[in-house]
Amino acid sequence: MFTSLITFLVLTGFYAGFGTGQPLVPALIIMGDSVVDAGNNNLRLTLVKANFPPYGRDFLAHTATGRFSNGKLAIDFTAENLGFTSYPVAYLSQDAANETNLLTGANFASGASGYHDGTSLLYNAISLTQQVENYKEYQSKVTSMVGRDKANEIFKGAIHLLSTGSSDFLQSYYINPILNAIVTPDRFSDRLMRFYSTFIQNMYDLGARRIGVTSLPPLGCLPAAITMFGGIGSNTCVERLNRDAVSFNTKLNNTSVNLANKLPGLKLVVFDIYNPLLNMVMKPEENGFFESRRACCGTGTVETSFLCNALSVGTCSNATSYVFWDGFHPSEAANRVLADNLLGQGFSLISQT
């Protein structure tokens, strides 16, 4: 898919910078949770970290950077697909101290954050509200380097990607018996939609005009979700969790259409990761995998963050055949598939029209 799309861009003359190192857009801004966190949690007092082995064992220089994967994230492949020669730096990392690195974007994501700031508080993650505040600070730094007019061009032309929501359900709603006893999943989704709408409005007010947001994945197919919410010894997806994700995604699409209609000049795309990931889970062999129910790390049933460590017994030797690296996060191989799907879905974000 990626090759065919690039070929199309070259033939139509759209991607004039192909082969010259010129990216399709001036900058890439990342916000959200652990699926896209590139290391912002590393220095925080939180259990949700990934800056130790075996995380990163297949990344550049086999380094654990704080990415919740054995290697690259989907957004890393996305950066490559867009023509960037480096990845957006984690805004709270040492790499961001060299402010010239910020001219092509930054990553503000934090593992265990969600649409609801209360989710972040449970794990001392960086809330989505604080990520927006950090983005404002980022804008000031870029403006001081290149001037207001050039900076505004960067912000307007940049692609802003948001990937969050899973923690709101799996690490907050479902594990809170009081909350899920008095609030239905439908009402909870409605609440999250209000936070999402506020986020989009805030980003729009800050000059963002190209925004992509990922759908929820098939929550019930994540190995940790099967372990926690499935039957004893179950090895099948938890359908009620998947139904909640589908319902949420429908609301996300409808809300996004309304926001795009309301806000002039806004390109807002919802990226479907539910179906591509579900396809990998249900038909692993057709997608080049042999294991889609257990993760690579440890027992493959629940381990993530500090439970996935260098001493975890049973960790696979080759993660390329696994859809999931740990109990919640895709492997690098699965992330590559997801990123190619994102590029195909996101043509309108990179189009100049």
Per-residue confidence at 348, pLDDT binned at 50, 70, 90? confident
Which pLDDT value is given to residue 299? Answer: 95
d(CA 270, CA 258): 12
89 forms beta bridges with 106
Lowest mean pLDDT among 40-44, 93-97, 147-151, 201-205: 93-97
Q: What is the per-residue pLDDT across 189-205, written as a single tens digit (0 to 9) for each?
A: 999 999 999 999 999 99
Contact assessment for residue 301 and residue 333, using Cβ atoms and an 8 Å cutoff:
no
Q: What is the per-residue pLDDT across 202-251, written as a single tens digit (0 to 9) for each?
A: 999 999 999 999 999 999 999 999 999 997 777 899 999 999 999 999 99
As a whole number, the mean pLDDT across the chain is 93
Query: Regarding beta strands 28-32 and 159-163, do their DSSP bridges make them parallel or antiparallel, or are they unpaired?
Result: parallel
Which pLDDT value is given to residue 352? Answer: 65
Which pLDDT value is given to residue 10? Answer: 37
Q: Cβ contacts of residue 162 below 8 Å, gap of 6+?
A: 31, 32, 199, 211, 212, 213, 214
For 253, the enclosing helix (H) or strand (E) is helix 239-262
Which DSSP string do the residues of 114-154 spell out, in sequence order? Answer: -SSHHHHHHHT---HHHHHHHHHHHHHHHHHHH-HHHHHHH
AA letter at 246 = V
Which pLDDT value is given to residue 344? Answer: 81
Catalytic residue, candidates 34, 127, 163, 312: 34
Which pair of tokens denotes residue 207? 């000059």
Q: What is the per-residue pLDDT across 255-286, written as a single tens digit (0 to 9) for each?
A: 999 999 999 999 999 999 999 999 999 999 99
Per-residue confidence at 20, pLDDT binned at 50, 70, 90? very low
Contact assessment for residue 291 and residue 284, using Cβ atoms and an 8 Å cutoff:
yes
Q: Cβ contacts of residue 314 below 8 Å, gap of 6+?
A: 298, 299, 300
Q: Is 317 exposed, middle or buried (0-12, 13-18, 19+ CB in 10 A)?
A: exposed
Per-residue confidence at 17, pLDDT binned at 50, 70, 90? very low
105 forms beta bridges with 28
Query: For the residues 29-55, what does the mean pLDDT come to?
Result: 97
Residue 155 pLDDT > 50, yes or no?
yes
Residue 308 pLDDT > 50, yes or no?
yes
Residue 124 pLDDT > 90, yes or no?
yes
Residue 34 annotated in active site: yes
End-to-end CA distance of the chain: 22
Residue 120 annotated in active site: no
Which pLDDT value is given to residue 87? Answer: 97
Residue 28 pLDDT > 90, yes or no?
yes
All structural domains of the chain: 28-350 (3.40.50.1110)
Which pLDDT value is given to residue 353? Answer: 58
Residue 69 pLDDT > 60, yes or no?
yes
Lowest mean pLDDT among 93-102, 154-163, 283-292: 93-102
* Percentage above 90 pLDDT, the chain: 88
Which pair of tokens denotes residue 313? 């017994």
* Gyration radius of the chain's alpha carbons: 19
d(CA 91, CA 132): 12
Query: Could you identify the residue written with the tokens 């984690």?
Result: 90
Q: Is 13 exposed, middle or buried (0-12, 13-18, 19+ CB in 10 A)?
A: exposed
Query: Could you identify the residue written with the tokens 């579900």?
Result: 278
Query: For the residues 27-40, what does the mean pLDDT come to?
Result: 98
Catalytic residue, candidates 305, 329, 331, 340: 329
- What Cα–Cα distance (Å) separates residue 59 from each residue in 36, 43, 76, 226? 15, 20, 11, 28
Closest CA to 197 of 125, 120, 261: 261
d(CA 300, CA 294): 5
330: which DSSP letter? B
Residue 62 annotated in active site: no
Residue 13 pLDDT > 70, yes or no?
no
* Percentage above 70 pLDDT, the chain: 93
What pTM did the predictor assign? 0.93
Which pLDDT value is given to residue 21? Answer: 62
Handedness of CA 94, 99, 102, 108 (dihedral sign): positive
Residue 184 pLDDT > 90, yes or no?
yes
301 forms beta bridges with none
Catalytic residue, candidates 37, 168, 326, 340: 326
